[in-house]
Structure 1
Amino acid sequence: MNPTLLAEAQTHAAEPFVFWLLAIVSVSAALGMILMRKAVHAALLLAVVMLSLAVLYAVLEAPFLAFVQVIVYTGAVLMLFLFVLMLVGVSSTDSLVETIRGQRLWAALAGLGFVGLLAAGVAGAALPTTAGLARANAEGNVVGLARLLFTKYVFAFEVASALLITAALGAMVLAHRERLAPKATQRALSKARFLGDHPTPLPGPGTYARHNAVDMPALLPDGTTSELSVNPIIARRTATAGMHTDLEGRTEEQAAGDDIAAVRAATDTAADADAQDREVKAGVPTAGNKEAGK
Protein backbone atom coordinates (compact mmCIF):
# COMPACT_ATOMS: atom_id res chain seq x y z
CA MET A 1 0.00 0.00 0.00
CA ASN A 2 1.17 3.50 -0.76
CA PRO A 3 2.85 4.96 2.37
CA THR A 4 1.85 8.47 1.32
CA LEU A 5 -1.83 7.56 1.47
CA LEU A 6 -1.30 5.89 4.84
CA ALA A 7 0.38 9.02 6.19
CA GLU A 8 -2.50 11.18 4.94
CA ALA A 9 -5.07 8.80 6.44
CA GLN A 10 -3.53 8.99 9.91
CA THR A 11 -5.47 10.97 12.45
CA HIS A 12 -4.43 12.79 15.55
CA ALA A 13 -4.41 10.60 18.64
CA ALA A 14 -6.57 13.07 20.54
CA GLU A 15 -9.16 13.46 17.77
CA PRO A 16 -11.27 10.40 18.74
CA PHE A 17 -11.22 11.50 22.38
CA VAL A 18 -12.26 15.05 21.50
CA PHE A 19 -14.93 13.77 19.12
CA TRP A 20 -16.58 11.45 21.64
CA LEU A 21 -16.34 14.05 24.38
CA LEU A 22 -17.98 16.74 22.25
CA ALA A 23 -20.51 14.24 20.90
CA ILE A 24 -21.66 13.43 24.42
CA VAL A 25 -21.82 17.12 25.33
CA SER A 26 -23.69 18.04 22.14
CA VAL A 27 -26.25 15.24 22.36
CA SER A 28 -26.85 15.85 26.07
CA ALA A 29 -27.30 19.58 25.50
CA ALA A 30 -29.63 18.95 22.55
CA LEU A 31 -31.80 16.58 24.60
CA GLY A 32 -31.85 19.06 27.47
CA MET A 33 -32.82 21.84 25.08
CA ILE A 34 -35.84 19.83 23.94
CA LEU A 35 -36.87 18.75 27.44
CA MET A 36 -36.39 22.07 29.25
CA ARG A 37 -39.56 23.86 30.29
CA LYS A 38 -38.05 27.35 30.44
CA ALA A 39 -37.11 29.04 27.20
CA VAL A 40 -34.08 30.69 28.80
CA HIS A 41 -32.55 27.35 29.73
CA ALA A 42 -33.32 25.95 26.27
CA ALA A 43 -31.54 28.90 24.63
CA LEU A 44 -28.45 28.37 26.80
CA LEU A 45 -28.31 24.67 25.94
CA LEU A 46 -28.67 25.53 22.26
CA ALA A 47 -25.63 27.80 22.62
CA VAL A 48 -23.72 24.84 24.11
CA VAL A 49 -24.63 22.73 21.07
CA MET A 50 -23.43 25.44 18.68
CA LEU A 51 -20.14 25.90 20.53
CA SER A 52 -19.53 22.14 20.50
CA LEU A 53 -20.03 22.09 16.74
CA ALA A 54 -17.58 24.98 16.39
CA VAL A 55 -14.91 23.05 18.30
CA LEU A 56 -15.53 20.01 16.09
CA TYR A 57 -15.02 22.15 12.99
CA ALA A 58 -11.77 23.49 14.44
CA VAL A 59 -10.54 19.96 15.18
CA LEU A 60 -11.32 18.97 11.58
CA GLU A 61 -9.08 21.85 10.43
CA ALA A 62 -11.94 23.97 9.10
CA PRO A 63 -11.23 27.30 10.83
CA PHE A 64 -13.57 29.32 8.63
CA LEU A 65 -16.56 27.14 9.52
CA ALA A 66 -15.55 27.22 13.19
CA PHE A 67 -15.47 31.02 13.32
CA VAL A 68 -18.69 31.32 11.31
CA GLN A 69 -20.35 28.90 13.72
CA VAL A 70 -19.29 31.02 16.70
CA ILE A 71 -19.95 34.45 15.19
CA VAL A 72 -23.19 33.76 13.33
CA TYR A 73 -24.98 30.91 15.07
CA THR A 74 -23.76 31.35 18.63
CA GLY A 75 -24.09 35.13 18.36
CA ALA A 76 -27.63 34.76 17.06
CA VAL A 77 -28.46 32.36 19.89
CA LEU A 78 -27.14 34.81 22.47
CA MET A 79 -29.31 37.52 20.91
CA LEU A 80 -32.22 35.10 21.10
CA PHE A 81 -31.37 34.63 24.76
CA LEU A 82 -31.52 38.40 25.24
CA PHE A 83 -34.85 38.68 23.43
CA VAL A 84 -36.29 35.85 25.53
CA LEU A 85 -35.26 37.69 28.70
CA MET A 86 -36.89 40.88 27.40
CA LEU A 87 -40.14 39.35 26.16
CA VAL A 88 -40.72 36.50 28.61
CA GLY A 89 -39.04 38.04 31.61
CA VAL A 90 -37.60 36.44 34.72
CA SER A 91 -39.49 36.74 37.96
CA SER A 92 -37.40 37.71 40.95
CA THR A 93 -39.23 35.10 43.02
CA ASP A 94 -37.19 32.43 41.23
CA SER A 95 -34.05 33.47 43.10
CA LEU A 96 -35.62 33.63 46.56
CA VAL A 97 -35.67 29.86 47.14
CA GLU A 98 -32.60 27.62 46.84
CA THR A 99 -33.49 24.78 44.48
CA ILE A 100 -30.08 23.26 43.61
CA ARG A 101 -28.59 22.84 47.06
CA GLY A 102 -28.41 19.06 46.71
CA GLN A 103 -26.94 19.25 43.21
CA ARG A 104 -23.84 21.28 44.00
CA LEU A 105 -21.81 18.31 45.23
CA TRP A 106 -22.65 16.24 42.16
CA ALA A 107 -21.88 19.18 39.89
CA ALA A 108 -18.48 19.67 41.55
CA LEU A 109 -17.66 15.96 41.23
CA ALA A 110 -18.72 15.94 37.59
CA GLY A 111 -16.57 19.01 36.90
CA LEU A 112 -13.52 17.45 38.56
CA GLY A 113 -14.06 14.23 36.62
CA PHE A 114 -14.32 16.15 33.37
CA VAL A 115 -11.09 18.05 34.10
CA GLY A 116 -9.33 14.79 35.00
CA LEU A 117 -10.42 13.06 31.81
CA LEU A 118 -9.43 16.06 29.72
CA ALA A 119 -6.02 16.31 31.39
CA ALA A 120 -5.38 12.57 30.98
CA GLY A 121 -6.36 12.67 27.32
CA VAL A 122 -4.17 15.69 26.57
CA ALA A 123 -1.19 14.35 28.54
CA GLY A 124 -1.26 10.95 26.85
CA ALA A 125 -1.91 12.26 23.36
CA ALA A 126 0.71 11.80 20.67
CA LEU A 127 1.38 14.59 18.24
CA PRO A 128 2.31 13.05 14.87
CA THR A 129 2.35 15.03 11.67
CA THR A 130 -1.05 14.73 10.02
CA ALA A 131 -2.23 15.66 6.57
CA GLY A 132 -5.74 16.70 7.65
CA LEU A 133 -7.50 18.77 5.04
CA ALA A 134 -4.34 19.96 3.33
CA ARG A 135 -5.52 18.91 -0.11
CA ALA A 136 -8.95 20.50 0.24
CA ASN A 137 -7.45 23.66 1.73
CA ALA A 138 -4.50 23.93 -0.61
CA GLU A 139 -5.56 27.43 -1.64
CA GLY A 140 -7.13 28.30 1.69
CA ASN A 141 -10.08 27.08 3.71
CA VAL A 142 -12.43 29.74 2.34
CA VAL A 143 -11.52 28.96 -1.28
CA GLY A 144 -11.96 25.23 -0.74
CA LEU A 145 -15.31 25.74 0.96
CA ALA A 146 -16.50 28.05 -1.83
CA ARG A 147 -15.45 25.55 -4.49
CA LEU A 148 -17.43 22.78 -2.78
CA LEU A 149 -20.50 24.97 -2.29
CA PHE A 150 -20.71 26.15 -5.88
CA THR A 151 -19.74 22.87 -7.58
CA LYS A 152 -20.60 19.69 -5.70
CA TYR A 153 -23.26 21.08 -3.35
CA VAL A 154 -24.68 23.87 -5.51
CA PHE A 155 -28.17 22.30 -5.60
CA ALA A 156 -28.40 22.04 -1.81
CA PHE A 157 -27.04 25.59 -1.54
CA GLU A 158 -29.73 26.96 -3.87
CA VAL A 159 -32.48 25.02 -2.08
CA ALA A 160 -31.35 26.44 1.26
CA SER A 161 -31.31 29.93 -0.25
CA ALA A 162 -34.87 29.49 -1.56
CA LEU A 163 -36.04 28.29 1.87
CA LEU A 164 -34.47 31.29 3.60
CA ILE A 165 -36.01 33.72 1.12
CA THR A 166 -39.41 32.06 1.55
CA ALA A 167 -39.12 32.29 5.33
CA ALA A 168 -38.17 35.98 5.12
CA LEU A 169 -41.11 36.76 2.84
CA GLY A 170 -43.48 34.81 5.09
CA ALA A 171 -42.28 36.74 8.15
CA MET A 172 -42.81 40.03 6.30
CA VAL A 173 -46.34 39.03 5.26
CA LEU A 174 -47.28 37.89 8.77
CA ALA A 175 -45.84 41.01 10.40
CA HIS A 176 -47.42 43.43 7.92
CA ARG A 177 -50.37 45.43 9.19
CA GLU A 178 -52.34 48.02 7.29
CA ARG A 179 -51.92 51.48 8.77
CA LEU A 180 -55.32 52.96 9.69
CA ALA A 181 -53.95 56.42 10.43
CA PRO A 182 -51.19 58.46 8.83
CA LYS A 183 -47.76 58.00 10.31
CA ALA A 184 -46.99 60.63 12.93
CA THR A 185 -43.97 62.79 12.22
CA GLN A 186 -41.31 63.69 14.77
CA ARG A 187 -42.73 67.20 15.05
CA ALA A 188 -46.25 65.91 15.70
CA LEU A 189 -45.00 63.46 18.33
CA SER A 190 -43.01 66.18 20.10
CA LYS A 191 -45.97 68.57 20.03
CA ALA A 192 -48.36 65.96 21.39
CA ARG A 193 -45.89 65.05 24.10
CA PHE A 194 -45.52 68.61 25.41
CA LEU A 195 -49.24 69.32 25.16
CA GLY A 196 -50.09 66.12 27.02
CA ASP A 197 -49.93 65.22 30.68
CA HIS A 198 -46.52 63.49 30.53
CA PRO A 199 -43.83 65.63 28.89
CA THR A 200 -41.12 63.75 30.78
CA PRO A 201 -40.05 60.20 29.81
CA LEU A 202 -42.39 57.48 30.99
CA PRO A 203 -41.14 54.74 33.31
CA GLY A 204 -39.95 51.62 31.57
CA PRO A 205 -41.83 48.33 31.89
CA GLY A 206 -40.87 46.30 34.91
CA THR A 207 -39.45 49.27 36.87
CA TYR A 208 -39.61 48.63 40.62
CA ALA A 209 -41.61 45.48 39.85
CA ARG A 210 -40.83 41.86 40.64
CA HIS A 211 -40.90 40.91 36.97
CA ASN A 212 -38.88 42.44 34.14
CA ALA A 213 -41.03 41.45 31.15
CA VAL A 214 -42.00 44.09 28.62
CA ASP A 215 -45.68 43.43 29.29
CA MET A 216 -45.39 44.05 33.05
CA PRO A 217 -46.43 47.61 34.04
CA ALA A 218 -44.00 49.62 36.13
CA LEU A 219 -44.68 50.48 39.74
CA LEU A 220 -44.99 54.12 40.70
CA PRO A 221 -43.54 55.48 43.97
CA ASP A 222 -46.94 55.12 45.67
CA GLY A 223 -47.07 51.41 44.80
CA THR A 224 -49.65 51.65 42.03
CA THR A 225 -49.02 50.42 38.52
CA SER A 226 -48.48 52.66 35.51
CA GLU A 227 -50.31 51.37 32.45
CA LEU A 228 -48.57 54.06 30.40
CA SER A 229 -45.32 52.09 30.71
CA VAL A 230 -46.70 49.22 28.59
CA ASN A 231 -47.34 49.46 24.89
CA PRO A 232 -51.12 49.13 24.37
CA ILE A 233 -50.61 46.61 21.55
CA ILE A 234 -48.51 44.39 23.82
CA ALA A 235 -51.05 44.80 26.63
CA ARG A 236 -53.85 43.53 24.36
CA ARG A 237 -51.96 40.61 22.83
CA THR A 238 -49.98 39.41 25.83
CA ALA A 239 -50.75 36.14 27.57
CA THR A 240 -50.43 37.86 30.97
CA ALA A 241 -53.26 40.29 30.36
CA GLY A 242 -54.82 39.38 33.69
CA MET A 243 -51.77 40.80 35.50
CA HIS A 244 -52.25 44.31 34.13
CA THR A 245 -54.22 46.82 36.16
CA ASP A 246 -55.47 50.24 35.24
CA LEU A 247 -55.36 53.38 37.33
CA GLU A 248 -58.53 52.33 39.15
CA GLY A 249 -57.01 49.03 40.28
CA ARG A 250 -58.94 46.91 37.81
CA THR A 251 -57.38 44.16 35.74
CA GLU A 252 -57.82 44.20 32.00
CA GLU A 253 -60.39 41.41 32.22
CA GLN A 254 -62.36 43.33 34.85
CA ALA A 255 -62.23 46.49 32.77
CA ALA A 256 -63.45 44.58 29.73
CA GLY A 257 -66.28 43.09 31.80
CA ASP A 258 -67.27 46.52 33.07
CA ASP A 259 -67.29 47.86 29.51
CA ILE A 260 -69.50 44.99 28.35
CA ALA A 261 -71.88 45.57 31.26
CA ALA A 262 -72.03 49.29 30.47
CA VAL A 263 -72.80 48.59 26.81
CA ARG A 264 -75.54 46.14 27.79
CA ALA A 265 -77.05 48.64 30.23
CA ALA A 266 -77.03 51.36 27.58
CA THR A 267 -78.62 48.96 25.09
CA ASP A 268 -81.34 47.99 27.56
CA THR A 269 -82.05 51.66 28.36
CA ALA A 270 -82.34 52.51 24.68
CA ALA A 271 -84.64 49.53 24.12
CA ASP A 272 -86.90 50.60 27.02
CA ALA A 273 -87.06 54.15 25.64
CA ASP A 274 -88.03 52.86 22.20
CA ALA A 275 -90.72 50.65 23.73
CA GLN A 276 -92.19 53.59 25.64
CA ASP A 277 -92.24 55.72 22.49
CA ARG A 278 -94.08 53.00 20.62
CA GLU A 279 -96.62 52.66 23.45
CA VAL A 280 -97.21 56.43 23.51
CA LYS A 281 -97.77 56.48 19.77
CA ALA A 282 -100.13 53.53 20.03
CA GLY A 283 -102.15 55.21 22.80
CA VAL A 284 -101.25 52.66 25.45
CA PRO A 285 -100.89 54.33 28.86
CA THR A 286 -97.42 53.97 30.25
CA ALA A 287 -96.38 53.85 33.89
CA GLY A 288 -95.56 57.59 33.87
CA ASN A 289 -98.92 58.50 32.28
CA LYS A 290 -100.79 56.36 34.82
CA GLU A 291 -99.09 58.14 37.73
CA ALA A 292 -99.85 61.53 36.13
CA GLY A 293 -103.52 60.56 35.71
CA LYS A 294 -103.76 59.58 39.35
Structure 2
Amino acid sequence: MGESITFWVLAVVSVIAALGLVFSRRAVYSALMLGVVMLSLAVLYAVQDAPFLAAVQIIVYTGAVMMLFLFVLMLVGVDSSDSLVETIRGQRFWAIVAGLGFAALLGLGIGNTLIAAPKGLAVANQNGNVPSLAELIFTRHVFAFEVTSALLITAALGAMVLAHRERTEPKPTQRDLSRARFVEFGRHGKNPAPLPGPGTYARHNAIDMPALLPDGTVSPLSVNRVIARHEAEEGTLAPEVAQILQQEEEGK
Protein backbone atom coordinates (compact mmCIF):
# COMPACT_ATOMS: atom_id res chain seq x y z
CA MET A 1 0.00 0.00 0.00
CA GLY A 2 2.75 2.43 0.92
CA GLU A 3 4.68 1.60 -2.24
CA SER A 4 1.65 2.33 -4.43
CA ILE A 5 0.96 5.65 -2.71
CA THR A 6 4.62 6.68 -3.06
CA PHE A 7 4.61 5.74 -6.74
CA TRP A 8 1.47 7.67 -7.64
CA VAL A 9 2.48 10.76 -5.69
CA LEU A 10 6.00 10.89 -7.13
CA ALA A 11 4.76 9.96 -10.61
CA VAL A 12 2.48 12.99 -10.65
CA VAL A 13 5.23 15.22 -9.26
CA SER A 14 7.72 13.92 -11.84
CA VAL A 15 5.37 14.48 -14.78
CA ILE A 16 4.49 18.02 -13.63
CA ALA A 17 8.17 18.84 -13.08
CA ALA A 18 9.08 17.38 -16.49
CA LEU A 19 6.43 19.55 -18.18
CA GLY A 20 7.74 22.56 -16.28
CA LEU A 21 11.25 21.69 -17.44
CA VAL A 22 10.17 21.66 -21.09
CA PHE A 23 7.84 24.66 -21.11
CA SER A 24 9.66 26.97 -18.70
CA ARG A 25 11.16 30.05 -20.34
CA ARG A 26 13.84 30.58 -17.70
CA ALA A 27 16.87 28.33 -17.51
CA VAL A 28 16.97 28.54 -13.71
CA TYR A 29 13.43 27.18 -13.40
CA SER A 30 14.23 24.41 -15.88
CA ALA A 31 17.26 23.38 -13.82
CA LEU A 32 15.19 23.31 -10.63
CA MET A 33 12.49 21.21 -12.31
CA LEU A 34 15.18 18.82 -13.53
CA GLY A 35 16.42 18.43 -9.96
CA VAL A 36 12.89 17.58 -8.81
CA VAL A 37 12.59 14.89 -11.50
CA MET A 38 15.97 13.37 -10.57
CA LEU A 39 15.18 13.26 -6.86
CA SER A 40 11.79 11.70 -7.54
CA LEU A 41 13.44 8.99 -9.64
CA ALA A 42 15.92 8.31 -6.84
CA VAL A 43 13.10 7.78 -4.36
CA LEU A 44 11.30 5.47 -6.80
CA TYR A 45 14.50 3.43 -7.21
CA ALA A 46 14.82 3.12 -3.46
CA VAL A 47 11.19 2.00 -3.12
CA GLN A 48 11.80 -0.68 -5.78
CA ASP A 49 14.66 -2.21 -3.71
CA ALA A 50 17.38 -0.71 -5.93
CA PRO A 51 19.58 1.18 -3.44
CA PHE A 52 22.57 1.29 -5.80
CA LEU A 53 20.59 3.04 -8.56
CA ALA A 54 19.08 5.42 -5.98
CA ALA A 55 22.53 6.37 -4.69
CA VAL A 56 23.90 6.81 -8.22
CA GLN A 57 20.89 8.93 -9.16
CA ILE A 58 21.50 11.29 -6.24
CA ILE A 59 25.31 11.40 -6.27
CA VAL A 60 25.99 11.40 -10.01
CA TYR A 61 22.98 13.02 -11.63
CA THR A 62 21.42 15.20 -8.94
CA GLY A 63 24.83 16.13 -7.52
CA ALA A 64 27.43 16.24 -10.29
CA VAL A 65 25.28 16.89 -13.36
CA MET A 66 23.17 19.55 -11.64
CA MET A 67 26.35 21.30 -10.52
CA LEU A 68 27.45 21.43 -14.16
CA PHE A 69 24.14 23.02 -15.11
CA LEU A 70 24.50 25.58 -12.33
CA PHE A 71 28.06 26.41 -13.41
CA VAL A 72 26.84 26.93 -16.98
CA LEU A 73 24.08 29.23 -15.74
CA MET A 74 26.62 31.18 -13.69
CA LEU A 75 28.88 31.60 -16.73
CA VAL A 76 26.21 32.33 -19.32
CA GLY A 77 23.84 34.29 -17.10
CA VAL A 78 20.15 33.84 -16.38
CA ASP A 79 19.07 36.74 -18.60
CA SER A 80 20.96 35.71 -21.75
CA SER A 81 18.73 34.91 -24.70
CA ASP A 82 19.14 31.77 -26.77
CA SER A 83 20.08 32.06 -30.41
CA LEU A 84 17.49 30.66 -32.82
CA VAL A 85 19.90 30.53 -35.75
CA GLU A 86 20.82 26.99 -36.78
CA THR A 87 24.58 26.61 -36.96
CA ILE A 88 24.51 22.89 -37.79
CA ARG A 89 22.88 22.01 -41.09
CA GLY A 90 20.17 19.37 -40.88
CA GLN A 91 20.07 19.22 -37.09
CA ARG A 92 16.28 19.33 -37.00
CA PHE A 93 16.01 16.33 -39.32
CA TRP A 94 18.46 14.26 -37.30
CA ALA A 95 16.79 15.37 -34.07
CA ILE A 96 13.46 14.04 -35.39
CA VAL A 97 15.13 10.78 -36.46
CA ALA A 98 16.76 10.40 -33.04
CA GLY A 99 13.42 11.13 -31.33
CA LEU A 100 11.62 8.49 -33.40
CA GLY A 101 14.39 5.97 -32.68
CA PHE A 102 14.19 6.67 -28.97
CA ALA A 103 10.39 6.28 -29.07
CA ALA A 104 10.81 2.92 -30.86
CA LEU A 105 13.32 1.69 -28.27
CA LEU A 106 11.05 2.84 -25.46
CA GLY A 107 8.11 1.03 -27.02
CA LEU A 108 10.14 -2.17 -27.40
CA GLY A 109 11.23 -1.98 -23.78
CA ILE A 110 7.70 -1.46 -22.50
CA GLY A 111 6.38 -4.20 -24.77
CA ASN A 112 9.04 -6.61 -23.55
CA THR A 113 8.07 -5.99 -19.95
CA LEU A 114 4.38 -6.49 -20.71
CA ILE A 115 4.79 -9.68 -22.75
CA ALA A 116 7.49 -11.47 -20.74
CA ALA A 117 6.60 -12.98 -17.39
CA PRO A 118 7.89 -10.86 -14.49
CA LYS A 119 10.50 -12.45 -12.24
CA GLY A 120 9.87 -10.28 -9.21
CA LEU A 121 12.27 -8.34 -7.01
CA ALA A 122 13.05 -11.33 -4.82
CA VAL A 123 14.47 -13.30 -7.75
CA ALA A 124 16.26 -10.30 -9.25
CA ASN A 125 17.96 -9.41 -5.95
CA GLN A 126 18.52 -12.91 -4.60
CA ASN A 127 22.30 -12.36 -4.50
CA GLY A 128 21.97 -8.71 -3.45
CA ASN A 129 21.12 -5.66 -5.52
CA VAL A 130 24.67 -4.57 -6.32
CA PRO A 131 26.09 -8.07 -7.18
CA SER A 132 23.07 -8.91 -9.33
CA LEU A 133 23.31 -5.59 -11.17
CA ALA A 134 27.06 -6.05 -11.73
CA GLU A 135 26.48 -9.56 -13.09
CA LEU A 136 23.96 -8.30 -15.65
CA ILE A 137 26.15 -5.38 -16.71
CA PHE A 138 29.38 -7.36 -17.20
CA THR A 139 27.84 -10.54 -18.69
CA ARG A 140 24.56 -10.13 -20.57
CA HIS A 141 24.77 -6.40 -21.33
CA VAL A 142 28.54 -5.99 -21.50
CA PHE A 143 28.53 -4.90 -25.17
CA ALA A 144 25.97 -2.14 -24.59
CA PHE A 145 27.88 -1.06 -21.48
CA GLU A 146 31.17 -0.77 -23.37
CA VAL A 147 29.55 1.05 -26.30
CA THR A 148 27.97 3.54 -23.89
CA SER A 149 31.34 4.08 -22.20
CA ALA A 150 33.00 4.71 -25.57
CA LEU A 151 30.27 7.20 -26.53
CA LEU A 152 30.66 9.11 -23.25
CA ILE A 153 34.44 9.30 -23.65
CA THR A 154 34.07 10.40 -27.28
CA ALA A 155 31.54 13.08 -26.25
CA ALA A 156 33.90 14.40 -23.56
CA LEU A 157 36.83 14.56 -25.99
CA GLY A 158 34.64 16.19 -28.65
CA ALA A 159 33.48 18.84 -26.19
CA MET A 160 37.08 19.66 -25.27
CA VAL A 161 38.12 19.85 -28.93
CA LEU A 162 35.18 22.09 -29.87
CA ALA A 163 35.70 24.36 -26.85
CA HIS A 164 39.46 24.68 -27.39
CA ARG A 165 40.62 27.82 -29.12
CA GLU A 166 44.15 28.45 -30.31
CA ARG A 167 45.56 31.69 -28.93
CA THR A 168 46.92 33.84 -31.76
CA GLU A 169 48.70 36.28 -29.46
CA PRO A 170 50.33 35.94 -26.04
CA LYS A 171 48.14 36.38 -22.99
CA PRO A 172 48.58 39.84 -21.42
CA THR A 173 50.17 39.86 -17.99
CA GLN A 174 49.26 42.09 -15.05
CA ARG A 175 52.11 44.38 -16.02
CA ASP A 176 50.77 44.75 -19.56
CA LEU A 177 47.26 45.46 -18.32
CA SER A 178 48.51 48.06 -15.83
CA ARG A 179 50.61 49.74 -18.51
CA ALA A 180 47.62 49.82 -20.88
CA ARG A 181 45.46 51.49 -18.21
CA PHE A 182 48.03 54.25 -17.72
CA VAL A 183 48.35 54.70 -21.48
CA GLU A 184 44.57 55.23 -21.64
CA PHE A 185 44.89 57.68 -18.76
CA GLY A 186 47.53 59.66 -20.65
CA ARG A 187 45.57 59.71 -23.91
CA HIS A 188 41.95 60.06 -22.82
CA GLY A 189 42.18 60.89 -19.11
CA LYS A 190 40.47 57.64 -18.06
CA ASN A 191 40.95 56.79 -14.38
CA PRO A 192 43.57 53.97 -14.21
CA ALA A 193 42.51 52.86 -10.72
CA PRO A 194 40.05 49.95 -10.33
CA LEU A 195 36.45 50.65 -9.42
CA PRO A 196 35.74 50.89 -5.70
CA GLY A 197 34.19 47.86 -4.08
CA PRO A 198 30.51 47.99 -3.10
CA GLY A 199 29.04 47.41 0.32
CA THR A 200 31.31 49.38 2.63
CA TYR A 201 28.64 50.78 4.91
CA ALA A 202 29.22 50.21 8.59
CA ARG A 203 26.41 47.68 9.12
CA HIS A 204 25.89 46.47 5.56
CA ASN A 205 27.89 44.38 3.10
CA ALA A 206 25.73 44.01 0.02
CA ILE A 207 26.21 44.70 -3.67
CA ASP A 208 23.34 47.22 -3.64
CA MET A 209 25.19 49.43 -1.13
CA PRO A 210 27.54 52.09 -2.53
CA ALA A 211 31.13 52.50 -1.46
CA LEU A 212 32.28 55.38 0.74
CA LEU A 213 35.23 57.61 0.01
CA PRO A 214 37.75 58.46 2.75
CA ASP A 215 35.82 61.63 3.57
CA GLY A 216 32.61 59.64 4.11
CA THR A 217 30.80 60.67 0.93
CA VAL A 218 29.29 58.23 -1.55
CA SER A 219 31.48 57.08 -4.43
CA PRO A 220 29.32 57.41 -7.59
CA LEU A 221 31.43 54.85 -9.43
CA SER A 222 30.23 52.07 -7.12
CA VAL A 223 26.51 52.75 -7.57
CA ASN A 224 24.65 50.48 -9.95
CA ARG A 225 22.97 52.57 -12.65
CA VAL A 226 19.68 50.70 -12.37
CA ILE A 227 19.52 51.30 -8.61
CA ALA A 228 20.62 54.90 -9.06
CA ARG A 229 17.86 55.63 -11.57
CA HIS A 230 15.29 53.91 -9.34
CA GLU A 231 16.35 56.05 -6.38
CA ALA A 232 16.36 59.14 -8.58
CA GLU A 233 12.71 58.52 -9.45
CA GLU A 234 11.84 58.18 -5.75
CA GLY A 235 13.89 61.23 -4.77
CA THR A 236 16.17 59.35 -2.35
CA LEU A 237 19.34 59.56 -4.44
CA ALA A 238 22.48 61.10 -2.97
CA PRO A 239 23.34 64.54 -4.49
CA GLU A 240 26.77 63.33 -5.66
CA VAL A 241 25.29 60.40 -7.55
CA ALA A 242 22.54 62.56 -9.04
CA GLN A 243 25.18 64.95 -10.33
CA ILE A 244 27.09 62.11 -11.99
CA LEU A 245 23.92 60.83 -13.67
CA GLN A 246 23.09 64.29 -14.91
CA GLN A 247 26.57 64.65 -16.40
CA GLU A 248 26.21 61.30 -18.15
CA GLU A 249 22.86 62.32 -19.63
CA GLU A 250 24.31 65.62 -20.87
CA GLY A 251 27.28 63.75 -22.40
CA LYS A 252 24.93 61.52 -24.39
Q: TM-score, normalised by structure 1?
A: 0.46
| Residue pair 2:27, 2:78 contacting (<8 A) in 1 also | no
Question: What amino acid does structure 1 have at the position aligned with 2:29?
Answer: H
Conserved 8 A contact 2:21-2:29: yes
Tell me the residue number matched to 2:72.
83
CA change 1:82–1:165 in 2 (3 A) is closer
Partners of 1:30 and 1:45 within 8 A in 2: yes
Q: How far apart, in 2, do the equivalents of 1:40 and 1:136 lie? A: 39
CA distance, structure 2, for counterparts of residue 45 and residue 176 of structure 1: 31
| Aligned mate of 1:164, from 141, 152, 156 | 152
Name 2:140's counterpart in structure 1: 152
Query: Secondary structure of 1:155's partner?
Result: helix
Residues 222/20 of structure 1: CA separation in 2 closer, same or farther (3 Å cut): closer
Instruction: For 1:211-230, list aligned pairs within 5 A.
Output: 220-221=221-222
Larger Rg: 1
Query: Structure 1 residue 85: deviation in Å?
Result: 4.5
Q: Which amino acid aligns with 1:220?
A: L
Match of 1:42 in 2: 30
Give the structure 1 partner of residue 41 of structure 2: 53
Q: Which residue of 2 aligns with 1:65?
A: 53
In structure 2, the CA distance between the partners of 1:223 and 1:158, relative to structure 1 (3 Å rule), is closer
Q: Does the aligned pair in 2 maintain the 1:47–1:77 contact within 8 Å?
A: no
For the residue of structure 1 that corresponds to 2:222, the secondary structure is coil
The match for 2:104 is: none
- Whether 1:192 aligns to 2:193 is no
1:55, CA displacement in angstroms? 0.3
Asked whether 1:15 is paired with 2:10, we answer no
- In the TM superposition, what is the alpha-carbon distance from 1:53 to its structure 2 partner? 0.4
CA deviation map 1:99-154 (0-9, x unaligned): xxxxxxxxxxxxxxxxxxxxxxxxxxxxxxxx974444444432222111111222
Query: Offset at 1:199?
Result: 7.0
Q: Distance in 1 between matches of 2:22 and 2:78?
A: 20
Q: Cα gap change, 1:222/1:35 in structure 2, threshold over 3 Å: closer, same or farther?
A: closer
Answer yes or no: is the 8 Å Cα contact 1:50–1:69 preserved in 2. Answer: yes
Which amino acid in 1 is paired with 2:176? A
1:101 alignment partner in structure 2: none
Q: Distance in 2 between matches of 1:193 and 1:52?
A: 50
- Report the AA paired with residue 146 of structure 2: E
Q: Deviations over 1:194-252 (max 9, x none)?
A: 55555768869xx659xxxxxxxxx8336679xxxxxxxxxxxxxxxxxxxxxx979xx
Alpha-carbon separation, structure 2, partners of 1:223 and 1:167: 41
| Paired residue secondary structure (2:166) | coil
* One-letter amino acid of the structure 2 residue matched with residue 156 of structure 1: A
* TM-score normalised by structure 2 residue count: 0.53
Cα drift, residue 19 of structure 1: 1.5
Asked if structure 2 preserves the Cα contact closer than 8 Å seen for 1:19 and 1:56, the reply is yes
State the match for 1:276 in structure 2: none
- Residues 29 and 46, structure 1, Cα contact 8 Å, conserved in 2: yes
Alignment-mate amino acid for residue 145 of structure 2: F
The CA distance in 2 between the partners of 1:44 and 1:156, in whole Å, is: 31
Q: What are structure 1's unaligned runs of at least 5 residues?
A: 1-12, 92-130, 210-218, 226-247, 251-294
Instruction: Deviation per CA, 1:170-204: give whole Å up to 9, x if none.
Output: 212211111112356xxx43x33555555768869
Does residue 164 of structure 2 align to residue 176 of structure 1?
Answer: yes
Deviation, 1:26, is 1.0
